[in-house]
């Protein structure tokens, strides 16, 4: 009776006994006493199987390697208001991003992001490879190589996908110099982690073809590529506070077959207390750009711009971000002497971060230009993520 209860309560033991019985019959002939014992055991097993109280046996867990990449999908739904024009309100799916990321082997990893984006002029959706690159994992001397199409190492916001930014629209100076999508081109990138024990320091050199044209740069008909160098300095000021200082230099051909050179600097201060980091944090981030563009042998246009924002976490899921933009617009034709188009803007964004997979943001912005009247804009953005999506830069 005890043996029967044990078999009923432990289906795995029941399975083991069946396997042992089959193996015993396949082996060499045993003594008659053993045969008698096996027959008795078989009858006992048959009775247990017919009782109807046995539990289903769980299938074995597969132990084979998984070669599938990490998949993710990010949706960006927006509603907007623009004070100028006949159509002031709009609602649309701005972008759907699909990510495929995986380690290729011990020597490299692959990251590919497909973008299904809406054209704001035609209202049609198109697909493109937003990023697609290979990154080495085992080069010597603290070197790392990246090849493919990637967001270039310009400051803080250019390498970051727009859905991860704490505001909805891009800063005016950034758009005027690099466009809405920023510097995102095909080429090669080499980074070197400097052997500095005092603080984190990294230098990056990049050369790209110029296929992704921007207001400042264009593809050359010859062998003149876009070259970028970025120096990152990261300091840990305390257990709660970090400071990052970056310097960037860019040189490349413009649409007048001449050269544009841009110098940039970025500064980021973050405060995230160890004890209260779930409820409170603070970020101050600024970037400065200075452009020197030649449009002929006799004419060069200088312009500069910047943005600066403060973000404060007021509760566990609530963030407030205030931003100031200033920009002189670079143009490819000469203005009257000492005349430049200038614009300044203020914006405020309130964000509700439900989880790391979903957030809702509302932004209001006002812009003033010296060649136009003041206008107003507002956006509502709903971001959601499904699947495995890697962490963004700190």
CA distance 376 to 374: 7
Query: Tens of pLDDT along the chain (394 residues)?
Result: 444 444 444 444 544 444 444 444 444 444 444 444 455 555 665 665 555 555 444 544 444 445 688 999 999 999 999 999 889 999 999 999 999 999 999 999 999 999 999 888 888 899 999 999 999 999 999 999 999 999 999 999 999 999 999 999 999 999 999 999 999 999 999 999 999 989 999 999 999 998 888 999 999 888 899 999 999 999 999 999 999 999 999 999 998 889 999 999 999 999 999 887 789 999 999 999 999 998 888 888 889 999 999 999 999 999 999 999 999 988 755 555 566 788 999 999 999 999 989 999 999 999 999 878 899 999 999 999 999 876 666 6
Q: How many C-beta atoms lie closer than 10 Å to residue 242's C-beta?
A: 17
CA 344 to chain centre: 29
Q: Which residue has the tokens 């007048």?
A: 256
Query: Is the Cβ–Cβ distance between 73 and 97 less than 8 Å?
Result: yes
Supply the pTM of this predicted model: 0.80
Residue 344's alpha-carbon distances to 197, 307, 334, 351, 365, in angstroms, are 41, 10, 22, 23, 11
Integer Cα distance of 55 and 164 in angstroms = 48
- Residue 385 confidence (pLDDT): 95
Separation of alpha carbons 197 and 367, rounded Å: 45
- Beta strand extents in the chain (DSSP E only): 70-82, 89-105, 108-118, 125-136, 143-151, 184-193, 200-208, 226-236, 241-253, 259-271, 282-294, 300-313, 318-328, 342-355, 358-369, 372-387
> Can you give the pLDDT at residue 300?
84
Residues facing residue 201 across a β-bridge: 233
How much is the pLDDT for 41? 54
74-387 topology per CATH: Porin (2.40.160)
Beta partners for residue 111, in sequence order: 101, 133
């Amino acid at each position: 009776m005890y043996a029967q209860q044990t078999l009923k309560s432990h289906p795995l033991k029941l399975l083991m006994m069946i396997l042992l019985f089959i193996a015993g019959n396949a082996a060499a002939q045993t003594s008659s006493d053993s045969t008698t014992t096996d027959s008795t055991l078989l009858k006992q097993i048959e009775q247990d199987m017919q009782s109807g109280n046995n539990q289903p046996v769980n299938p074995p867990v597969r132990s084979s390697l998984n070669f599938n990449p990490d998949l993710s999908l990010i949706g960006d739904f927006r509603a907007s208001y623009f004070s100028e024009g006949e159509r002031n309100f709009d609602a649309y799916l701005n972008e759907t991003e699909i990510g495929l990321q995986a380690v290729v082997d011990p020597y490299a990893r692959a990251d590919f992001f497909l973008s299904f984006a809406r054209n704001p002029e035609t209202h049609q959706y198109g697909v493109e490879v937003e990023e697609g690159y290979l990154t080495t994992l085992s080069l010597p001397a603290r070197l790392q190589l990246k090849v493919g199409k990637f967001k270039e190492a310009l400051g803080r916001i250019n390498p970051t996908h727009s859905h991860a930014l704490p505001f909805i629209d891009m800063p005016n100076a950034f758009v005027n110099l690099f466009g809405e999508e920023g510097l995102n081109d095909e080429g090669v990138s080499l980074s070197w982690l400097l052997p500095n024990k005092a603080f984190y320091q990294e230098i990056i050199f990049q050369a790209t073809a110029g296929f992704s044209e921007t207001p400042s740069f264009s593809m050359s008909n010859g062998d003149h590529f876009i070259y970028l160098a970025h120096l990152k300095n990261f300091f840990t000021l305390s257990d709660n506070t970090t400071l990052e200082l970056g310097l960037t230099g860019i040189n490349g051909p413009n649409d007048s077959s001449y050269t544009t050179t841009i110098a940039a600097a970025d500064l980021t201060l973050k405060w995230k207390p160890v004890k209260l980091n779930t409820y409170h944090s603070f970020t101050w981030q600024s970037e400065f750009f200075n452009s020197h563009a030649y449009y002929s042998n006799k004419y060069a246009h200088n312009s500069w711009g910047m943005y600066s924002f403060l973000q404060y976490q007021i509760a566990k899921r609530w963030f407030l971000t205030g931003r100031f933009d200033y920009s002189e617009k670079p143009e490819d034709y000469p203005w009257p002497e000492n005349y430049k188009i200038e614009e300044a803007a203020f914006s405020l964004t309130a964000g509700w971060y439900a989880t790391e997979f979903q957030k809702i943001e509302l932004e209001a912005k006002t812009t003033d230009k010296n060649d136009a009247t003041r206008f107003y804009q507002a956006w509502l953005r709903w971001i959601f993520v499904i699947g495995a999506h890697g962490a963004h830069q700190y």
